[in-house]
Each structure stands twice: as C-alpha cells, then as structure tokens.
Amino acid sequence: FFFAFEFFCSMFGRLATSAAVLGCGGVMYAATNPSVPLHAKSFWDASPAIVSYQREPENSHLKIWLAKKGVMSAVGHNLVIKVHDWQSNMKMTPDGDCELEVEVDAASLAVESHWKPAKKPENGIEGIRGQKVEIHEMDNWSIGQIHGTMRSKEVLEVAKYPKVTYKGKGKKSAEGFHFEGTMNLHGTDADLALDSVITVEADKSGMPYFVMKGETIFPMTKWGIKPVSALMGALQLKDEICAKWEVHFVAKTE
C-alpha cells in the first residue's frame, strides 16, 4: 500500500499546489481542477473544500444475491440479480465525513445467473457471507418467469414504486467508511447501515481514482416485501437480501 501511495505521489506531486485535499479512510485525495479526477497526494494535509464524486459506470456494479430454503429447495434456484440502471453520488469533506446517495430503477433488476455452493471451495467465488459458490447460467424461460414475478404487485410493484433510493452519512472506519442512512424500498423508509472498504487504483493512463466495495444483508420483510414461496411453502426465498457492490468513484466534472 505504501509503495503504491508513494508511486501516486511521485506521479502527481508536480501538479498545481492549489489542489484541494480530501481524506478517505486514512488516504488523502486531491483535485487540482474540477475536471480532473482526484489524485493521491498526502496522508494528513487538508483544506476546507468539499468535493463531489460520481460513479464511473463502466467498471461499477451492483448485484443482489438471494437464497432459497425449504424441503423442496433442491428444485429451486439461488439467484444473482444485476442492477442495470442506477446512480451513485458522494460528497466528502477534508476530514473524511461524507454523504452518499444511490438511486436504482427497480425495473432494471434482471436475473444474471444462479448459484450453488462450490463443490471445490478453492475454485469458487465469494457469495453471501463469504461462502464459496459456483455460478451457473439460467434458461430464458426461467428468467422470464422470475422477472414477471419480481416486478409484479406480489414483490417489487415496479409500476407503483419505480425507484429504490438510499441516503446515508458516512464516517471513516479502519478500512473505509461506515454509513448510517435510510433506504426507500417498495414505498417504505427504513434504516440501513453499510460498510465499505476503500482502495486507491489507477486507470490505463495512470490517473488514480478510488473504489468502494462492500455488501450488506437485510430482511425484505422490513420493507413490506413477502418472500416468494411455492409448493405450499415447501420452496421459498429466505427473508434476506444480500446487496454486493463495487463502485468506482471519480471527481465530478462541473
């Protein structure tokens, strides 16, 4: 980490000295110009500027993981759902306090795949709560059936509640940010805490940006959504939604 930090410093240390420096999880970022992404500069220098960030869509993703239960669960699917249309913006002060806003188009949620516990954990990817899993494709007929149910009045009611939003305030933690905020889902507001790990990376041109990764698990019934069930309850979704994200943030160009 320190080697990477010194590398960024050497690359951008000659930039304009009027840079606005911001704190993020113990790492400082500087914006020398509103049209230029933030640059890693120093650990503890700070200025009173507040800098706004926006999601870089090409490399960012937000996915929903769902798990099944019941005596007939073998015939169902554990789902991975990708959010296709969403926005995420953040404002940060020099001491690392920040405000996060996320907006999701509920109709853009689409089944990407289904997952099973990995037969060989060393070959699996990380799923819910760190469990090693295997990812499998689904047939179009099954995907269509799930989309119909998911968007209907039985679940998300996307015609009535087209947006899902989150607004939270964050504080620096040991590795990134801890957010306390409110999510509006299915027309219901409820508290939701988020934790994200922060890393500094660079694009192909050497321009640094920061990446926020994390996951949170919450009960869907808290937002008035009843878990889908079939076969007289012998096959059900668990009352939990696992949201996993990787957001690449760059300074807003204004």
Amino acid, res. 156: L
Q: What are the pLDDT digits (tens) for 45-72?
A: 444 477 888 999 999 999 999 999 988 7
Instruction: Output the 3-class SS for 7-28.
Output: HHHHHHCCCCCCCEEEEECCEE
Instruction: Give residue 253's pLDDT.
Output: 59
CA proximity to 199, closest of 191, 188, 190, 209? 209
Instruction: Give residue 80's pLDDT.
Output: 98
Mean pLDDT, residues 74-88 taken together: 93
DSSP 226: P
Mean pLDDT, residues 200-224 taken together: 87
Q: What are the pLDDT digits (tens) for 38-52?
A: 333 322 244 447 788
Q: Which residue has the higher pLDDT, 216 or 123?
A: 216
Supply the mean pLDDT for the chain. Answer: 81
Contacts of 215 (CB under 8 A, 6+ apart): 242, 243, 244, 245
Kindly report which listed range (9-13, 96-100, 169-173) carries the lowest average pLDDT score: 9-13
Query: Could you tell me the CA-to-CA distances from 137 to 66, 73, 114 in Å, in that order?
Result: 15, 18, 6
Query: Percentage of the chain surpassing pLDDT 70?
Result: 79
Write down the pTM of the prediction.
0.79
CA distance 39 to 85: 28
Mean pLDDT, residues 92-116 taken together: 93
Asked whether the predicted pLDDT for residue 187 surpasses 60, the reply is yes
CA distance 22 to 45: 8
Query: Could you tell me the CA-to-CA distances from 206 to 5, 9, 21, 113 in Å, in that order?
Result: 13, 12, 19, 34
Query: Percentage of the chain surpassing pLDDT 90?
Result: 57
Structural domains in the chain plus CATH codes: 53-251 (2.40.128.110)
Mean pLDDT, residues 84-93 taken together: 93
| Beta bridge mates, 100 | 90, 168
Instruction: Give residue 71's pLDDT.
Output: 83
Kindly report which listed range (15-29, 98-112, 214-228) carries the lowest average pLDDT score: 15-29
End-to-end CA distance of the chain: 31
Q: What are phi and psi of 70, to 5 degrees?
A: 110, 165
Exposed, middle or buried by CB within 10 Å (0-12, 13-18, 19+), for 160?
exposed
Instruction: Give residue 9's pLDDT.
Output: 38
